[in-house]
Structure 1
Amino acid sequence: MTNEWQDRLKGLIKSTGGFKKAAPEVAHAFHAFEEATRASDVLDAKTHELISLAVAVTTRCDGCITAHALAAKKAGATEAEVAAALGTAISLNAGAAYVYSSKALDAFQSL
């Protein structure tokens, strides 16, 4: 499994580098936006990465999972902290399905 994620990281670096060459303004704006989320000292790097990793799971973004798993590790997150953040993502995603299921049932009943 380790090689799979290392290969994904290499592929991510290559593909985003290619996009940066094709659309440098967009790539720069994206990176500036991401850096802006770290500009204040309200969240430390580890907390920022734990949140990012949990969001990456809920948005099902393999590239984001790869990048933020590595960044969380570099920021000092423990496996237990990562598991806790991912547990929160799981509960939220299930909660979102529950809320949207209620909306879907309401739409069905109303139409």
Structure 2
Amino acid sequence: MSMIDWNAYHQQVLAGVAEIAVLSPDVIRGYQAIGGAARKTNLLGTKVNELIALAAAVSLRCDGCIVVHTEAALKAGATREEIAEALGTAIGVNAGAGLVYSTRVMDAVKSKAS
């Protein structure tokens, strides 16, 4: 049993984006241009790019990105195990970022305590 009805949510995201496209088409064109430019050389291949996108989606906490890139990763041939490995990398980077930013807190503590 899923926590979220991802298929229904995917449709909601697409409908929301379509609404923004009507109201602000230049924003959507700009967004599409950025995504297209990132994939233009295709040196990493679609599957690897989608695995990176999933790791980024987790890091940014973007459910819309998760649903869109999960479907794309699966269509590109990513396995559950490959997705889990990419997510493990995201977890590690996020933990590392927390550790590094903790040093900033300690630096702020030092400056305020003196």
- What TM-score do the two structures reach when normalised by structure 1? 0.96
Deviation at 1:2, TM superposition (A): 8.3
One-letter code of the match for 1:29?
G
Matching of residue 42 in structure 1 with residue 43 in structure 2: yes
Question: Is 1:102 the equivalent of 2:103?
Answer: yes
Q: Which amino acid aligns with 2:34?
A: F
Matched pairs, number: 111
Task: Please give the alpha-carbon distance, in whole angstroms, between the structure 2 residues aligned to 1:43 and 1:22.
Answer: 34
Structure 2, unmatched stretches of 5+, are none
TM-superposed CA distance for 1:32, in Å, is 1.1
Secondary structure of the residue that 2:39 maps to in structure 1? coil
Give the match for residue 60 of structure 1.
61
1:21-41: CA deviations, max 9, x gaps?
010001011011101110003
Instruction: Give the CA deviation at 1:60.
Output: 0.3
Residue 37 of structure 1 aligns to a residue whose secondary structure is: helix
**Mapping for residues 26-37 of structure 1, pairs under 5 Å:** 26-37=27-38
Tell me which stretches of 4 or more aligned residues in structure 1 moved more than 3 Å: none
The structure number with the bigger radius of gyration is 2
Unaligned runs of 5+ in 1: none
RMSD: 1.2
Identity %: 42
Deviation at 1:92, TM superposition (A): 0.5
Give the Cα separation in 2 of the matches to 1:7 and 1:99: 38
Q: What is the match of residue 84 of structure 2?
A: 83
